[in-house]
Structure 1
Amino acid sequence: MSTFSQGAPRLTAAQVLICGAAIVTLSMGIRHGFGLWLQPITQAQGWTRESFSLAIAVQNLSWGVFGIFAGMAADRFGAMRVLMIGAVLYALGLMGMALTTTTLGFALTTGVLIGAAQAGTTYAVIYGVIGRQIPPEKRSWAMGVAAAAGSFGQFLMVPVEGWLISGFGWQAALLILAGSVLLILPLALGLRESGFVGGMAPPREQTIWQALSEAMRYRSFQLLMAGYFVCGFQVVFIGVHMPSYLKDNGLSPEVASYALALIGLFNVIGTYAAGALGQRVPKRHILAFIYLARAVVIAIFLAVPLTPMSVYVFSSVMGLLWLSTIPPTNATVAQIFGVAHFSMLGGFVFFSHQIGSFMGVWLGGVLYDRTGSYDIVWYIAIALGVFAALINLPVRETPIERGPQRAGAMA
């Protein structure tokens, strides 16, 4: 255990969870509704779906890349500073998304800028605070609570975003969201950790590079990263392209809004349950079940007739599995390697997730423009679900053993 977790005064669990959950609710809630802007923006600007999809794909990749450095900064300087910078970037990115008129500008604002903002306002940073401030026996549960907050944000914000678009137009809706995301600034003050007073973290057993080298050479870390790639591919493809998939098949836009809201609502249950079960059940078994269940649910969804009811049932069941990978994956990383460099290592795992997200959203746009259908990407999502279920089973969850002479070496 790190010197920080042993000696520095902790924030209260209620303070961490209330402020952290509110930040994730807002940040993730806005992000989950971006699929609602696909058709309004492409139609208004005369762009292809591939152009919009590429910007969202860049956003996910940017989120992953900047997430590594946001994690390093949070481990060294504390979460509060990173969250505040991320909130300002988020507001600027949403303004750019509303006002840019070129595909390049759209990719830079919607893609790079918002991606960097999400890196500093979502799970890697919030989970770092949880890892440092919540005792290990409650850590998986607390991560489930934070992930459930992100799911509640989807349930809350997606209908609000749909209402804003219909009531004020897509540009004004984005500018309203740009103002609302600045609420993260006062919430970040509630996550000011006393161990980081003066901007420096306490001494650690390993350097950043020792911790990273150890993790990258550890087989279970590699398997967790591969599984998280699949998670990103599936959820971002569905989240961004399902509204257009449903409209292409004759269903109203309201069905898509309700579907995304149902995913968010039921994900509150799924993520909380995954976090709570992670205290009692091997996390690798939870992850294998989630990925296999996703593959089965998608296959059934494609096999039955497409109706509003089938969409709502699919969304509800998929919602139980949506972000429920997050608590067991991150809790396993903390359990294996400890919390001293947890935000950074979580950032690397999440980078793999975002590469998957890039591929899912980009391939969805490319293959639709090439074939006029999303069928191929749905089938890829099924196959990847089976793959991820199998590779999570061999993960070792026990703490890594470090020799006295080589804290940075692989166990």
Structure 2
Amino acid sequence: MSVAEDLRPNLAIVLGAAVMLSIGMGVRQSFGLIMPPLTREIAVTVSDFALALSVQNLAWGLLQPVAGLLAARLGFRPVMLSGTLLYLAGLALFASAQGLVGVMLGAGALIGVALACTASAIALAVGSRAVPARSRSLVLGATTATGSLGALLSAPLGQALIVELGWRAGVLGFFALALGMLPAAWLAGRVDRLPLPGAGGVAPGDISPRAALASAFKTPSFLVMTGAYFVCGMQLLFITTHLPSYLAICGLDPALSAQALAAIGLFNVFGGLFFGWAGGRWSKLALLGGIYVSRSLVLVWYFVLPPTPATTLVFASLMGFLWLGVGPLVAGSVAEMFGLRWQAMIQGVAFMSHQLGSFLGAFGGGLLFEALGSYDLAWRLGVGLGLLAGLVQVSFALMRPPRARSFA
């Protein structure tokens, strides 16, 4: 059977997960546009704003395994709908913020909890259950690719509203977009009606979450992947949080920040599709390592040159291609190693590592900037750690391919 035939019975589920992921990630990736005008208008510094986004990522990561456990126990639909409502509440509080507390609770804590219930780990776990294993990698790549389109809409919309009406109007524009997550989450929640396939067609056993986690922490391939994922998060959140500030320091047009974020979103589509396809043919873990090495080389190229609109857009396009391609590779690797029963929870553990790295990338980048007056040390650290993580990941994947411990 073709991928289209495999997908057709549950197309609405996959589309719902992709739209939910697209809006949630697109809005969240556009928050860097808010930082320059917000820090000029209210008593919030660059490091304060970076701390709020770091709290967002920390809450997201720490609660991701919990959200995965709840989805397995209670169903995906109640988890995703609850997360969407928290996302809307966070945006509303953010738009009305008068100081650090409102920004921290709205853009930070509430949206962090919401993302644990609606973003990649949950959306890709939904997609994994909607299609047979033979089509899973490509469908996960397509879900990631579709989920990347949100930045193409949210970044230009947010920038236009910020320029014309101020940063609060930009956040309210994000709120209007996020309303679309409600019907998307409802559609994706149909996955709860599907029977859970077992390994090789055998019904899944009653494996406890504790046993599943214990097995994951005894699997060397999973541990190496999780450690490298930490560096992935550090690199990406440093870019999304601080690129608009870096461009402003360099005297470039503020609209370039929105264009760069939109370019990242556009090339996420190509990257998601390519790495979803490639993950069905070659080692997913080796491909992950290749992504981390390639990103680091792109960072070196961009930051050693004087920034221009052209180099910035090329940088954003290359990074976009290498951005969300990790999603289908990590999700597919976890499904192959441990099956579908506890995929969202185990993937959530790996993602917790990613978000701890994100916390360091966003907040640490802000601290280094305020201490040194430049981003030079921050990007050098990101490059060095990225090269190390990528080379270790590739080497380990080639020397010790993972063995499946499927829990169905």
Equivalent residue number for residue 186 of structure 2? 189
Give the superposition deviation at 1:163.
1.2
In the alignment, structure 1 residue 44 sits paired with structure 2 residue 78: no
Tell me the SS of whatever aligns to 2:79: helix
Q: 1:25 aligns with which of 17, 22, 41?
A: 22
TM-score normalised per structure 2: 0.91
Residue 387 of structure 2: aligned partner: 386
- Structure-2 residue corresponding to 1:82: 79
| Structure 1 vs Structure 2 CA RMSD | 1.9
What is the match of residue 344 of structure 1? 345
Q: Find out whether 1:288 has 2:295 as its counterpart.
A: no
**Alpha carbons of 1:15 and 1:121: their partners in 2 closer, same or farther (altered >3 Å)?**
same
Task: Give yes or no for the alignment of 1:163 onto 2:167.
Answer: no
Q: Distance in 1 between matches of 2:232 and 2:156?
A: 24
In 1: Cα distance, 2:340 partner to 2:41 partner: 47
What CA distance in whole angstroms lies between the structure 2 residues aligned with 1:223 and 1:261?
Answer: 32
Distance change in 2, residues 1:95/1:279 (3 Å): same
Structure 2: distance between partners of 1:44 and 1:211? 49
Return the offset for 1:401: 4.5
Instruction: Please say if 1:120 is aligned against 2:124.
Output: no
Counterpart residue number, 2:200? none
Shift of residue 168, structure 1, vs aligned partner: 2.6
State the secondary structure of the residue aligned to 2:188: coil
Gaps of 5+ in 1: 1-9
Is 1:255 aligned with 2:256?
yes
Bigger Cα displacement from structure 2, 86-95 vs 152-161: 152-161
- Asked if residue 34 in structure 1 is aligned to residue 31 in structure 2, the reply is yes
Instruction: Indicate how the Cα distance of structure 1 residues 272 and 11 shifts in structure 2: closer, same or farther if over 3 A, else same.
Output: closer
Q: Tell me, in whole angstroms, the C-alpha distance in 1 between the residues paired with 2:273 and 2:379.
A: 27
Tell me the residue number matched to 1:265.
266
> d(CA) in 2 for partners of 1:20 and 1:333?
18
Contact 1:162/1:257 (<8 A) preserved: yes
**How do 1:127-166 residues align onto structure 2 when only pairs under 5 Å count?**
127-166=124-163
Contact residue 14 and residue 126 of structure 2 kept, 8 A = no
Give the aligned partner of residue 55 of structure 1: 52
Tell me if structure 2 keeps the 8 A contact 1:94–1:178: yes
Q: Could you report, residue by residue, the CA deviation over 1:293-312 in whole angstroms, capped at 9, with x for unpaired residues?
A: 11111111122222111111
Counterpart in the other structure of 1:70: 67
CA distance in 1, matches of 2:77, 2:296: 38
CA contact (8 A) 1:90 1:117 kept: yes
Question: Corresponding residue for 1:218?
Answer: 219
Q: 1:98 aligns with which of 48, 70, 95?
A: 95
The code of the aligned residue for 1:168 comes to: L
Offset of residue 194 of structure 1: 6.4
Q: Distance in 2 between matches of 1:33 and 1:93?
A: 15
State the aligned residue count: 391
Contact 1:23 1:122 in 2 (8 A): yes
Deviates more, 1:339-348 or 1:177-186: 177-186
The answer to whether structure 1 residue 178 and structure 2 residue 179 are counterparts is: no
Map of 1:400 onto structure 2: 404
> Quick check: 308-317 or 167-176, which moved more?
167-176
**Distance in structure 2 (CA, Å) of the matches to 1:332 and 1:203:** 19
CA contact (8 A) 1:11 1:193 kept: no
* SS of 1:12 mapped into structure 2: helix
Distance 1:217 1:265, change over 3 A: same
- 1:281 partner SS: coil
For residue 34 of structure 2, give the secondary structure of its aligned residue in structure 1.
Answer: helix
Could you tell me how far apart the structure 2 residues matched to 1:297 and 1:376 are?
Answer: 16
Identity %: 37
Shift of 1:362: 0.3
User: Which residue of the partner structure matches residue 4 of structure 1?
Assistant: none
1:108 and 1:189 map into 2 onto residues whose CA distance is 26
In 2, distance between residues paired with 1:194 and 1:292?
Answer: 36
Deviations 1:327-359 (A, max 9, x none): 111111110111110010111111111001000
Using structure 1 for the length normalisation, give the TM-score. Answer: 0.91
CA distance in 2, matches of 1:275, 1:346: 17
Instruction: Name 2:197's counterpart in structure 1.
Output: none
* CA distance in structure 1 between the aligned counterparts of 2:174 and 2:384, rounded to whole angstroms: 36
For 2:166 and 2:99, the matched residues in 1 are separated by 19
CA distance in 2, matches of 1:131, 1:85: 21
Pair 1:343–1:313, CA change in 2 (3 A): same
Distance 1:367 1:186 in 2: 42
